[in-house]
Amino acid sequence: MTTNSAKELIETGGATLGIELGSTRIKLCLVGENPVDVLAVGSFEWENQLIDGLWTYSIESIWQGLAGAFADLQANVEKTYGIHLVTLRALGITAMMHGYLAFDEHDEILVPFRTWRNTNTGKAAAQLTELFGINIPLRWSVAHLQQVVLEKSEHVSKVRFITTLAGYVHWKLTGEKVLGIGDASGMFPIDSSKKDFDEQAIQKFDSLNESAPLHASIGELMPKVLVAGKNAGALSAQGAALLDPLGHLQAGAPLCPPEGDAGSGMVATNAVAPTTGNISAGTSIFAMVVLERPLTKLHHELDVVTTPAGDPVAMVHCNNGASELAAWVKMFIRFSEITGQKLGADETYRLLFEEALNNGAADAGGLLAYNYLAGEPITGTVEGRPLFVRTPDSEFTLANAIRAQIYAMFGTLSLGMDALRDESVVLTRMSAHGGIFRTPGVAQSFLAAALDAPVTVASSASEGGAWGAALLAHFSVSGEAELSTYLENVVFNDAEIFTVEPRDADVSGYSKFLDRYRKGLVIEATAVEAL
């Protein structure tokens, strides 16, 4: 698409915007009439806070971050096209799933936002897992609600509405208390046949808490569930002012149902059809496989969630992803600064990744790393202690150290994927997306070794969930009936993709690393107690 045609499209309100609220960055992605064409991006870095033992983001930081990211987008549009972004064809929101945002009758938040990263809901999650007969992870919204009920928290009687981060932002932009079914499936169990919250589970929850001071049935406290393609309201004047305090953006753009990062990741990797799967790597890392049939039994390593269209998905979610690796990379960026050879983040990642691929031992030279900044439910770790461990005879080189850190990102994921193998789940294609895949072929090769399966990365993978949100918004106004057909025929029909097959040496080496990883979990547990 030429610059002039893109400018005309933006001026006439033909561009579609996707907004992603990730763990460390809020990102905006503006796409053209052909949604493969990325016209401009904007971003804003932010960070969660540990307050009173709970991970949170303040409400003020949410809107400061969104306004900052939109201002960055506007600056890039003005620099590239010489115009302001004024109107949109459609808009989509995606954000970190799960967590707990609770509001009173005056729409005031009752307690600070509790994110997916918190692991204080163990008692509630265990109780609900037994009650429902399906795995309810610590991070699910219903686990957070049940935990405050069990703790007899003072605010419980005041709760009138609970939602997720994407649901909250969407509500404030449109006035609509709705949620995409994929994000909703991380709040409460879904009945995929009815594309709504499971009525039997609602009745069980209400019966369990009939003496609790909850104002209403949990079904009345949660958002309305919508599948992909449904209209979910329009950008209000108040919402436009929240995004763009300078006042250039006008109201009126239709919004698609707000989705979680898992749903937008599935869309961004064309992994919404049965037997397809994707892996999203960011602050957390998770794998999704769309199921052909229900699971045969309960697996504590697996959530059952849905695609944005409402089809069941097995999810392996790990609380810890790329943050520890990023901390290592920052050290090398700083080293480059003090040598007078300052390198940018992308170049530093590239150099370190290529060193790990080209000169690292297949098993990382006997080195061992844990990227646990937070607790990790799959391995039963309640708190995080990042560790780097070696024996006197291990091969302590730069290449092996970085390879061990990348392997560590996939360690807990590998343990969770064992449950899918136990279920004989069919997987015909695994795609990946996230910033770590910007260096071609490196993290992708190591992931292929960890899965012992081919891994595909599209050229758009680094745009991540913001692009996925833009696709969902574009789909909602496209006139297409089926999300999977839209992705296959409109978006990915001639997409540039890169597939890496697992190398035997790396598969064998990663297997040795994973064996050390399993045995070394006792070190991690001891570190939590001792440090």
**pLDDT tens per residue, range 14-48:** 999 999 999 889 999 999 999 999 999 999 999 99
Orientation of helix 398-422 relative to helix 504-519, angle to 10°: 80
**Prediction pTM value:** 0.85
> Distance of CA 104 to CAs 101, 169, 222, 389, Å?
10, 17, 13, 48
What does the domain layout of the chain look like in residue ranges? 323-459+497-530
Q: Please answer whether residues 454 and 484 qualify as being in contact, where contact means their C-beta atoms are separated by less than 8 angstroms.
A: no
At 425-448, the pLDDT tens digits run: 888 888 988 788 888 899 999 999
Question: What is the share, in percent, of the chain residues with pLDDT greater than 70?
Answer: 99
- Distance, in Å, from the CA atom of 165 to the CA atom of 98, rounded to the nearest integer, reads 8
Inform me whether the pLDDT recorded for 354 exceeds 80. yes
Are 491 and 434 in contact, with CB atoms under 8 Å apart? no
Least confident of 209-218, 270-279, 363-372: 270-279
How far is CA 376 from its chain centroid? Answer: 16
Task: Say which CATH superfamily domain 323-459+497-530 falls into.
Answer: ATPase, nucleotide binding domain (3.30.420.40)
pLDDT tens digits for range 93-112: 999 999 999 999 999 999 99
The H-assigned helical ranges of 82-135 are: 122-132
Question: What tokens does 67 get?
Answer: 């306004």
